[in-house]
Amino acid sequence: MNRLFLPADASGRAEARLARPSPLANALTLAAMSLGFGVVQLDVTIVNTALDSIRSALGGGVAELQWVVNAYTITFAAFILTAGALGDRLGARRIFMGGFALFTLASLGCGLAPDAVTLIALRAIQGLAAAILVPNSLALLNHAYVDPKERGRAVGVWAAGASLALTAGPFVGGTLIALVGWRAIFFVNLPIGLVGLWLTKAYARETPLHADRALDLPGQMAAIIALGALAAAVIEAGARGWTDSAVMLGFVIAIVSGVAFVWQEVRTPQPMLPLILFRNRLFSLCALVGLLANVAIYGLIFVFSLYFQEINHLSAFATGLAFVPMLGVVFPVNLIAPRVAERIGPRATIALGATLSALACLALLPMAPGTPYWALGLQLIGMSSGLGLLVPPLTSTLLGSVDKSRSGLAAGVLNATRQTGSAIGVALFGSLIGQPDAFMTGLRLSLVISAVVLLLAAGIIRWGGAAHGER
């Protein structure tokens, strides 16, 4: 039937029915996207569990370990906006599959790395691939699930799949390290990548192409320099001191590059990051909360990994077991978060999650060398529960605040801010614990900083909601 003879809304519904895939195809698309996000998250906890083993095998100190983690997160954050725009331009399915293939090959390279420098370089390539995977997986979900409620629940499953990977990572990583060695933690990505590629090719629908989306290469370079210089300055501050000339130069380069990035985004006709998006208060609040939450949680995961292994002298396997209850709770909380948001409102749910994590951080302040795990477990579970509660409504709300044609870009902004937060958290908290005799002081200061930024996130999201009369 010719759409000219239908009302606009009726023709749109007819097209939606014709284009809508079967429930099975949607479910398998969701499975593929969850594998893509899951393998990205798996490397966070597996690598943190292996930090002591990697240092023993390849040498180096806390700074090198920070770079093993942050080479990944910096390239993740720096390239994710371009990756989202590239998916909008060339098709999210095509770009997602390229990212999955690159991630799989980089994982193979990490497992074969002969030294720390090579490992750090390959981790950077993994981060680039992760930047491609995450926004395009969300873009594919956003186009597969038209109904907002269905999309919210699909995002909850997507986040839960990543949470399951986070939970399995320490146990699987610790087991592999004990039985085979630390290199096996990267080889485990190979079968996941192959399955994810097959499912995507067989069941995911390609998104509409937007050939007018240009790539902002000057903005991309400025973003890389700004994030890299900021992370380098904070990491080196732990060894050199915050007033060291090289550290100060790093901060200056980061500031100048950041200003250059904003200037480029303002003046270019097709910016990597359209600043007009931030005129939408809802979009801005969600992006800021994502950054603050990751500063706290992922910075603390790095610190706790070293606390368990270096201060309490746990093995890699025991450290993996120590993280399982903490991360395991995220999975069921992710699943119930969309229903909580439907009941009390997404902003209230996000604020509740951030507050719960902040209170748990404060409850961990009495910890000391040799503190038994049973005295820490409940607080660690509370901290991760808050993260599990806030991520699904945060993601779904931000995606719902923009037009579908910008879904890849919006997902990229959220994940860029979150990964920037992770890089800042690891760099900052790692610098605070960098000196052996100051580890516990640095850990407690990290907990206080985390509580403050999480409470700030809760206040921001609630204040913004109150200003608009929304929940």
pLDDT score at 19: 52
Q: Tell me the pLDDT band of 13, cut-offs 50, 70 and 90.
A: very low
pLDDT score at 422: 87
What is the mean predicted confidence (pLDDT) over 56-76? 84
| Token output for 242 | 């915050």
- Sole residue written with tokens 């990212």: 99
Question: Is it the case that residue 162 has pLDDT exceeding 80?
Answer: no
What is the 3 state secondary structure string of 186-227?
HHCHHHHHHHHHHHHHHHCCCCCCCCCCCCCHHHHHHHHHHH
Model confidence pLDDT, tens digit, residues 179-237: 888 999 999 999 999 998 998 888 777 877 776 666 778 888 898 899 889 888 888 88
Model confidence pLDDT, tens digit, residues 99-119: 999 999 999 999 999 988 999
* Average per-residue pLDDT for the chain: 83
Report the length, in residues, of the chain.
471
What is the mean predicted confidence (pLDDT) over 261-279? 83
What is the mean predicted confidence (pLDDT) over 152-168? 76
Sign of the alpha-carbon torsion through 94, 95, 97, 101: positive
Determine contact, residues 328/378, Cβ cutoff 8 Å.
no
Higher per-residue confidence, 358 vs 30: 358
pLDDT score at 185: 92
3-state DSSP call for residue 147?
coil
pLDDT score at 345: 87
Where residue 378 falls (left for φ over 0; alpha for ψ -120 to 50; beta otherwise) is: alpha
The residues near 34 (Cβ < 8 Å, ≥ 6 apart) are 157, 158, 160, 161, 162
| Token output for 465 | 């909601």
pLDDT score at 435: 67
The residues near 369 (Cβ < 8 Å, ≥ 6 apart) are 311, 312, 440
The residues near 89 (Cβ < 8 Å, ≥ 6 apart) are 209, 210, 211, 213, 214, 215
pLDDT score at 452: 96
pLDDT score at 419: 81
pLDDT score at 459: 92
Higher per-residue confidence, 392 vs 252: 252
The residues near 101 (Cβ < 8 Å, ≥ 6 apart) are 193, 197
DSSP letter, residue 365: T
Q: Tell me the pLDDT band of 471, cut-offs 50, 70 and 90.
A: low
Q: Tell me the pLDDT band of 1, cut-offs 50, 70 and 90.
A: very low
Model confidence pLDDT, tens digit, residues 324-350: 888 778 878 888 888 898 888 888 899
Higher per-residue confidence, 124 vs 279: 124
Model confidence pLDDT, tens digit, residues 382-425: 999 998 899 889 988 887 777 766 766 777 788 788 888 888 89
Of the candidate ranges 101-115, 129-143, 149-163, 441-455, the one whose mean pLDDT is the lowest: 149-163
**Cα–Cα distance, 128 to 36 (Å, whole number):** 13
Q: Tell me the pLDDT band of 9, cut-offs 50, 70 and 90.
A: very low
pTM: 0.80
Determine contact, residues 153/112, Cβ cutoff 8 Å.
no
Q: Tell me the pLDDT band of 20, cut-offs 50, 70 and 90.
A: low
Instruction: Provide, rounded to the nearest whole percent, the portion of the chain with pLDDT above 70.
Output: 90
pLDDT score at 379: 92
Determine contact, residues 289/457, Cβ cutoff 8 Å.
yes
pLDDT score at 8: 41
DSSP letter, residue 153: H
Return the number of other C-beta atoms located less than 10 Å from residue 76's C-beta.
30
Model confidence pLDDT, tens digit, residues 27-46: 788 888 888 888 888 887 78
pLDDT score at 327: 77
**Cα–Cα distance, 219 to 136 (Å, whole number):** 20
**Cα–Cα distance, 341 to 350 (Å, whole number):** 8
